[in-house]
Structure 1
Amino acid sequence: MKAMHAIKLAGTALLILGSINAYAQASDAAPAAPAAPASTTAGARQHYKSLKAANRALQRQVRSALVKDRGIAMSNVTIRARDGAVTLQGSVPLQAQSDRATEVAKGVPGVVSVKNALSVRPVGT
């Protein structure tokens, strides 16, 4: 009985070692990607930072426009912007406020599209 258990254990160990070896060979066979020059990496990083700054600026512009409207309760509203696409998230007390928020956001320069993910929750619930 002990001999059968030892044979099964040895067979399992050989299978594991064989699969590890095959996996290592497959990944070694793939050609290594050439390293990007430092200037390209720095340029990409700078581009990413400028896009992020532009998205934050658009978020602030949309928030400012919604706050100026005065007909929209902004305490539970979050605004996200990415490449001109604006998403409104959170909750407002009335459906009319949700609809108005979409219209106001569409009127902000730089906004390409508006996704309204606002839910209607009456005050106190």
Structure 2
Amino acid sequence: MKTMNGLRVALGVAIVAAAISAWAQDGASAQASAGTAVTASGGVTAKAARQANRALRRKVYAALAKHKEIDAGDISITAKGSAVLITGTVPDASQINTVAEVAKGVAGVTSVTSKLTVQRPFGQ
């Protein structure tokens, strides 16, 4: 009889432990699906990283817009982490360095790679 009671208690403890474990995992997956969770290793979720990249890209575009001497119509900005890649064309060679310097001055940017070229007029 004592053995049966011991088995019942052990089985009850196992069921409660499994239920608690399943409940904790459901809560973590709900947070992850909301895009606000941090991974077990302390990293940021993919959704949060994409949002941060978009925000940094918008900051760089906004900084370029403040400089009226820069024609940013054919410039493309890509942000990954805190690194920024600038591609496209500018009408004047002096704008290449100016664009890179403006991008470096944006808060959150640690490195800038510029692949800008000078736009050639048609027929040349």
Q: Do both proteins adopt the same fold according to a TM-score greater than 0.5, normalized to the shorter chain?
A: yes
* TM-score, with length taken from structure 1: 0.63
Checking the alignment, whether the CA contact within 8 Å between 1:94 and 1:122 is kept in structure 2 is no
| Cα deviation 1:87-119 (Å, max 9, x = unaligned) | 001100111101100000000000010000111
More helix by proportion, 1 or 2? 1
Checking the alignment, whether the CA contact within 8 Å between 1:92 and 1:122 is kept in structure 2 is no
Residues of 1 paired with 2:68 and 2:118: CA distance?
Answer: 17
Residues of 2 paired with 1:67 and 1:58: CA distance?
Answer: 14
| Alignment correspondent of 2:50 | 52
Quote the RMSD (CA, aligned, Å): 2.0
* TM-score, with length taken from structure 2: 0.64
Length, aligned pairs only: 89
Taking the TM superposition and a 5 Å limit, the aligned residue runs for 1:29-48 are: 39=28, 43=32, 46=35, 47-48=45-46
Residues of 2 paired with 1:100 and 1:57: CA distance?
Answer: 21
1:77 is aligned to 2:75: yes
Q: Which has the larger radius of gyration?
A: 1
Q: What runs of 5+ residues in structure 1 fail to find an aligned partner?
A: 1-36
Identity, % of aligned positions: 36
Residues of 2 paired with 1:41 and 1:89: CA distance?
Answer: 38
